[in-house]
Structure 1
Amino acid sequence: MFADRIVSGMRPTGSLHLGHYHGVLKNWVKMQHEFECLFFVADWHALTTHYESPQVIEQSVWDMVVDWLAAGIDPAHATLFIQSKVPEHAELHLLLSMITPLGWLERMPTYKDQQLHLADKDLSTYGFLGYPLLMSSDILIYRATQVPVGEDQVPHVEFTREIARRFNHLYGRDPGFAEKAESAIKKLGSKKARLYNELRNRFQEQGDGDALESAKALLDEQQSLSLGDRERLFGYLEGGGKMILSEPQAMLTVASKMPGLDGRKMSKSYNNTITLREDEATVAKKIRTMPTDPARARRTDPGDPEKCPVWQLHLVYSSEQTKQGVIQGCKSAGIGCIECKQPVIDAVLLEQRPMRERAQLYLDDPSLVRNIIADGNEKARKLAGETLRDVREAMGLSYS
């Protein structure tokens, strides 16, 4: 059983391109073998900026999930689900909105940035203002320990941590908390109870961080403890109340260096993409017709790889030997641009071939994709329900 739980989602934008693969999906494929992973389609998030065109969302959802599977995401190692099929996200979002200061949402850096970048859309809606809180709910509902993000998304994780701390401060100290915690300690057995108390005292009296980590590790090993007792003992360790919502850590991921066909970042808005499952003839044509160094007007003109968009793709795909050959051949006019592009074409097609093969299974039988998502939705709802039960109880909403 993995000690860390990863939660990550993507808005359904339809077919994904190689920028998505190198920026996100390769990380997901690696993480699914190292952590407990939940990957979700953020279809509600799509509505925060595209509420006026919802008809495109459904097909985009299924296209994107097929691309995940094609890229190597394995439903035997990760839980795949759709956000809107787990209504617990929405309920937690509603409950957390009761305690979230308006200023916390307005100060989010992405709030003003998106308003500037999407100036053609009417974003003066609560959904847009509140989407960072919905993101927090997506994370907190699963008690995620790690959230893979780029540097620009770190403020969202810190916001999530602040929300968890505020919630725990307001609702974490249930009546008779200390007595319940002491009772839970006894359930560890005499030897482990003594160790827990020793570690707790070392942390609280001496600030010993190693003792705190050892105590947390001790609790992680106790499979027989109820979820309520486990969270109560985590809170008791640090002298506070019950940790109902856990504070996730940001897991910084390396920013994608995947360039588009024009040298800029690969993006649908620039119309410079190669999609994951694009057919071989189209991929080859796109790369062959890429612009090159303007100084190479003729085959005999020497060029500079640094001024050529094709070189940016060599940096991603080519071996050191190939790159050295390209530099020498370009600068001496020893090779032509078509000759320079061929190793990139070969490398991209080699990368895509297993993706197309994996995808074909799901394209031939779409029910396989539906079944994977249905199973994932069910698993996600079970986990989310456990958290929501504790949240309702803490907020006085568990009466019947």
Structure 2
Amino acid sequence: MRATGSLHLGHYHGVLKNWVRLQHEYECFFFVADWHGLTTEYENPQKIEQHAWDLVIDWLAAGVNPGSATLFIQSQVPEHAELHLLLSMMTPLSWLERVPTYKDQQEKLREKDLSTYGFLGYPLLQSADILAYRAGQVPVGADQVAHVELTREVARRFNHLYGREPGFEEAVEAAIKKMGKKQAKIYVGHRRQYQEKGDETALETARALVDSQQNITLGDKERLLGDLEGGGKVILPEPQALLTPASKMPGLDGQKMSKSYGNFISMREEPAEVDSKIRRMPTDPARVRRTDAGNPDNCPVWQFHMVYSDEPTRQWVREGCTSAGIGCLDCKKPIIEAVQEELEPIRKRAEEHLRNPDLVRTIVAEGCEEAREAARATLEEVRASMGLNYR
């Protein structure tokens, strides 16, 4: 997540609630993308550091647990930059120019000079962010799927160029023998079925067989998988996009919640301000007077009911609004109560971390070291495959 300051309910419902769930299902790495922030804010970097700490505090307040996930800051793991540099040596320029967000962002941010190498290359930096950890899945919204697909293409090209280590065929045969006669025969048979007849079932069966082997190394498994698909050793696995459920959190005016629109409620919003913002929300323009009937489908407050209210409350709102049986402030009261109830524990946890900044820094420092350890292992293999292992 880019370091752009404190987060709001749109971030909470769109990303963080999903992160909190995922951290118990996968080994997760969550990081502050401060270098990515520089791609558009390189002229004004002064606030990035404070924004980074605000971001981490909001994550912790939302329930992201450093005991279940690794939290770190991108620029504190220089392996990201090294891998980005190495990948840039073999990534075609045209691949970066065709990324959908490249021209789109230039149009949206015309007031900024984005004709920089950093902005053109930021999708490749994203690829390095993913590939440094050999991530199997990347939680993204639909608008980011193209970035994951670029990462898959980069990994595929890298493996094609550098995956055939010296003596690859001999290493594969040695790995097959380690499987034992029976398992080796099954593997070779399925490999032939796939490579000669394109049998996808044989491919999946052979993959499962390789994954189940207990007496061969991870390197041998990667060689066998590379041999199976007709390539080489899989140095950088191709990640999959793990689609995040679309956020249903609207802004106070019915548009997407955004700081730039000024229609947001922050995750640490004071109770009085939450109350005031919701009370001032625009409603159905047809309800000029209290006695005028309204239509919830034309009201931003109804969108909040779709997020926060149960079915009986929604029914009460619809009946009361369309019959002028309730006023707009009556309609807003359940929303105020629900948002306050949701934010109260978040505010408390945030306040605890704000009072103890050393703990936050310790969490991040430990996360950075864990991330570096994982990324170093990848970089060692990447360097060796590119002939840069001077030992």
Q: Give your verdict on TM over 0.5.
A: yes
1:292 aligns with 2:250: no
Which residue pairs with 1:15 in the alignment? 6
1:161 aligns with 2:152: yes
Match of residue 47, structure 2, among 56, 63, 67: 56
Which residue pairs with 1:91 in the alignment? 82
Which residue pairs with 1:253 in the alignment? 244
CA RMSD of aligned residues (A): 1.6
Unaligned runs of 5+ in 2: none
Q: Quick check: 115-124 or 27-36, which moved more?
A: 27-36
Which residue pairs with 1:303 in the alignment? 294
Which residue pairs with 1:4 in the alignment? none
| Match runs of 1:114-153 below 5 Å | 114-153=105-144
Per-residue CA deviation, residues 205-253 of structure 1 (Å, 9 max, x unaligned), is 3433233333333444446644432321221121211111111111122
| Match runs of 1:1-400 below 5 Å | 10-222=1-213, 225-400=216-391
Give, in angstroms, the shift of residue 113 of structure 1.
0.1
Amino acid at match of 1:371: T
Unaligned runs of 5+ in 1: 1-9
Quick one: distance in 2 between partners of 1:72 and 1:234?
38
Quick one: distance in 1 between partners of 2:8 and 2:307?
15
Look up the SS of the partner of 2:260 in the other structure: helix
Quick one: distance in 2 between partners of 1:188 and 1:88?
35
Look up the SS of the partner of 1:267 in the other structure: coil
TM-score (normalizing by structure 2): 0.96
Query: Percent identity over the alignment?
Result: 69
Look up the SS of the partner of 2:30 in the other structure: strand
Per-residue CA deviation, residues 88-144 of structure 1 (Å, 9 max, x unaligned), is 110010011111111111111100000000000000100000001000111111111
TM-score (normalizing by structure 1): 0.94
Give, in angstroms, the shift of residue 84 of structure 1.
0.7
Quick one: distance in 2 between partners of 1:217 and 1:57?
45
* Alpha carbons of structure 1 residues 191 and 86: separation in structure 2 relative to 1, 3 Å: farther
Look up the SS of the partner of 1:79 in the other structure: strand
* Alpha carbons of structure 1 residues 222 and 50: separation in structure 2 relative to 1, 3 Å: farther
Quick one: distance in 2 between partners of 1:386 and 1:219?
22
Following TM superposition, where does structure 1 have runs of at least 4 consecutive aligned residues deviating by more than 6 angstroms? none
Equivalenced residue count is 391
Quick one: distance in 1 between partners of 2:176 and 2:356?
52
Which residue pairs with 1:7 in the alignment? none
Per-residue CA deviation, residues 317-366 of structure 1 (Å, 9 max, x unaligned), is 11111111111101111001111001111111111122122223312211
Q: Quick check: 104-113 or 289-298, which moved more?
A: 289-298
Look up the SS of the partner of 2:256 in the other structure: coil
Quick one: distance in 2 between partners of 1:331 and 1:51?
51
Q: Quick check: 179-188 or 295-304, which moved more?
A: 179-188
Quick one: distance in 2 between partners of 1:276 and 1:211?
50
Give, in angstroms, the shift of residue 281 of structure 1.
1.3
